[in-house]
Chain A
Amino acid sequence: MKLKSKMKLKAIVNIGAVTLVAGLIVGCSDSSNSPSAPEMNDYEITLINLSSNQPLSPMAVIIHEASYSGWAIGTASTAGLEHLAEGGDNSTFLVEARTANAPGVESGEGVIIPGGSELVDVSVHRGSDLKLTVASMLVNTNDAFTGGTGIDLSSLSIGDELKVRLPIYDAGTEVNNELVGTIPGPADGGEGFNSDRDDVNVVSRHPGVVSNVDGYTDSVLEQSHRFDSPIAQLVVRRVN
């Protein structure tokens, strides 16, 4: 008999059908700061890969204000998002966020395998309108990514936890042909970023992959690379 036990359950938010359940753990007042030290908000950002066989590229983690957005449905991907979604390289995406004066910009250290997770710490000066953007490529695809942008952090008190189930987006910058040589992940080992934009050139939800078990014999993907939404769970914990 081994039911899993966990002590801290706080908030659950599902994108789409929203359920919000909040409980509070009240933190102690912080008396160690000197009067002149800026007050910081500290967050632990955890991404859990819930896919069958889609490793997730090193995650981009950005804490920002309402003026920034990582992407929008119906709008063309930035060059940074194109790099992230086609090749798994988040560096340009993070530079774009810094250029937009996002106060918290971090990268995960490595690929998150199916069933695996990574925690990234982010600290920003205390603000009233903090939001979160997270993005990561499904590496066994042409240009699919998961994440969320503009996730509101303002209602999180110290000790609170927010859980968000993440959908799959299509960057719209590379056609989903699933052909040999076009997919950077271990399913293929093909090309990542290519500056050509030969698809619809706007961000949308992803239609899913076809794979070679569904009549598309030219696809380099197989049954395990198929997916349904959500693809990952994001856990945001405010620790200070």
Chain B
Amino acid sequence: MKTKSILTLSALPFLFASNFASAQTVDVEVTNLTQGIFFTPLLVSAHDSSNHLFEAGQSATAELQAMAEGGDISGLVTATTALGAVNSENPAGGLLAPSSSAQVSDLDTGSNTHLSIVAMLLPTNDGFVGLDSWEIPEEAGTYTLFINGYDAGTEANDEVVNGGGAPGSLGIPANPGGNGGTGASGVTTTETNQTIHIHRGNVGDTDATGGVSDVDSRIHRWLNPVAKIVVTVK
């Protein structure tokens, strides 16, 4: 689409030099709104206006893919830190269980003006919850956002729980609730839309020892939004 201009990294330092905002301190509360889906360790990142952890309709970066397929945020941390972002890594101290919350307190954003949040959804192949570059208001107050479940578009949603979390390794790394099945034949081997898109949702089945999916259709489905974000600008 022609409204976008993609810049190379080397050009970046010259472009936002004049775009200083006063430093802000924010609290960020992330609530998992689902009934049966876990979030892997969250990355809450304050960055400048020209960067994104992901953009719907665009291809996933390798770092985003590693997060979405295996819950590994280290690549995104390295990449954003190199660009001057201020990050809160893993504020939940591990998995964020269904219907529970994690708190980031007193994040000093420095000169960064925008907020992004990502975490993998389990059990899925490459589903993730995401907030893409939300402009942090300058006015003190409490702001509430509801965000959706995305599909990174990098892996077929076969819904087989086999420990496969590394990029390129087909399968779901884990079902933390332990409430699914085994021995599934796989829902599909193809990914139709290979860009980042809204996740179609888990299909699942009700067969604990076979069927097409190791995910339980009675437990592991969801409807958007999957997370509530409360940002308090101090």
Q: Categorize the interface residue count of chain A.
A: 35 or more
A229 B3 Cβ-Cβ under 8 A: no
Instruction: Judge if A16 is at the interface, Cβ distance under 8 Å.
Output: yes
Minimal Cβ-Cβ distance residue in A for B151: A52
A3 B53 Cβ-Cβ under 8 A: yes
A227 B198 Cβ-Cβ under 8 A: yes
Partner of B146, one of A4, A17, A48, A115: A17
Instruction: Judge if B105 is at the interface, Cβ distance under 8 Å.
Output: no
B56 A48 Cβ-Cβ under 8 A: yes
Question: Residues 185-217 of chain B: 1 if any A CB is under 8 Å from the residue's CB, otherwise 0?
Answer: 001101011110111110101000000100001
Complex Cα spacing A19 to B143, Å: 9
A4 B192 Cβ-Cβ under 8 A: no
Please give the distance in Å from B67's CB to the nearest CB on chain A: 13
Minimal Cβ-Cβ distance residue in B for A22: B135
Partner of A1, one of B55, B78, B149: B78
Please give the distance in Å from B101's CB to the nearest CB on chain A: 17
Residue of A19, A161, A230 with most partner-chain B CB within 10 A: A19
Chain B positions within 8 Å of A114 at CB level: 192-193, 195, 197
Complex Cα spacing A230 to B130, Å: 14
Chain A positions within 8 Å of B200 at CB level: 51-53, 223-224, 226-228
Partner of B57, one of A17, A21, A50: A50
Question: Residues 191-208 of chain A: 1 if any B CB is under 8 Å from the residue's CB, otherwise 0?
Answer: 000000000000000000
Which B2-45 residues sit within 8 Å CB-CB of chain A? Answer: 2-9, 12, 15
A51 B198 Cβ-Cβ under 8 A: yes
Instruction: Judge if A213 is at the interface, Cβ distance under 8 Å.
Output: yes
Question: Residues 12-52 of chain A: 1 if any B CB is under 8 Å from the residue's CB, otherwise 0?
Answer: 10101101010100000000000000000000101011111
Minimal Cβ-Cβ distance residue in B for A213: B203
Complex Cα spacing A8 to B52, Å: 12
Chain A positions within 8 Å of B109 at CB level: none
Question: Residues 50-76 of chain A: 1 if any B CB is under 8 Å from the residue's CB, otherwise 0?
Answer: 111100000000000000000000000
Complex Cα spacing A130 to B55, Å: 29
Which B88-137 residues sit within 8 Å CB-CB of chain A? Answer: 114, 133-135, 137
Instruction: Judge if B62 is at the interface, Cβ distance under 8 Å.
Output: yes
Please give the distance in Å from B184's CB to the nearest CB on chain A: 12
A229 B145 Cβ-Cβ under 8 A: no
A115 B15 Cβ-Cβ under 8 A: no
Complex Cα spacing A7 to B223, Å: 32
Chain B positions within 8 Å of A23 at CB level: 135
Please give the distance in Å from A118's CB to the nearest CB on chain B: 8
Please give the distance in Å from B86's CB to the nearest CB on chain A: 15
Interface size on B (CB < 8 Å)?
63
A228 B223 Cβ-Cβ under 8 A: yes
Chain A positions within 8 Å of B157 at CB level: 223
Chain B positions within 8 Å of A230 at CB level: 148, 198, 224
Instruction: Judge if A78 is at the interface, Cβ distance under 8 Å.
Output: no
Chain B positions within 8 Å of A46 at CB level: 1, 3
Chain A positions within 8 Å of B194 at CB level: 115
Quick one: given A5-B6, A50-B57, are A21 and B144 in contact (CB under 8 Å)? no
B61 A4 Cβ-Cβ under 8 A: yes
Instruction: Judge if A9 is at the interface, Cβ distance under 8 Å.
Output: yes
Chain B positions within 8 Å of A115 at CB level: 57, 153, 193-195, 197
A7 B187 Cβ-Cβ under 8 A: no
B212 A213 Cβ-Cβ under 8 A: yes
A6 B192 Cβ-Cβ under 8 A: no
A1 B9 Cβ-Cβ under 8 A: yes
Which B155-194 residues sit within 8 Å CB-CB of chain A? Answer: 157, 187-188, 190, 192-194
Please give the distance in Å from A163's CB to the nearest CB on chain B: 10
B57 A117 Cβ-Cβ under 8 A: yes
Chain A residues packing against B (C-beta within 8 Å)? 1-9, 12, 14, 16-17, 19, 21, 23, 44, 46, 48-53, 114-115, 117, 119, 161, 165, 211, 213-214, 222-224, 226-231, 233, 235, 237
| Inter-chain pairs besides A3-B9, A8-B3, 12 sampled, C-beta below 8 Å | A4-B61, A5-B5, A5-B9, A6-B5, A7-B15, A17-B146, A48-B1, A114-B197, A115-B195, A224-B188, A226-B203, A228-B223
Chain B residues packing against A (C-beta within 8 Å)? 1-9, 12, 15, 49-58, 61-63, 78-80, 82-83, 114, 133-135, 137, 143-146, 148-149, 151, 153, 157, 187-188, 190, 192-195, 197-201, 203, 205, 212, 217, 222-225
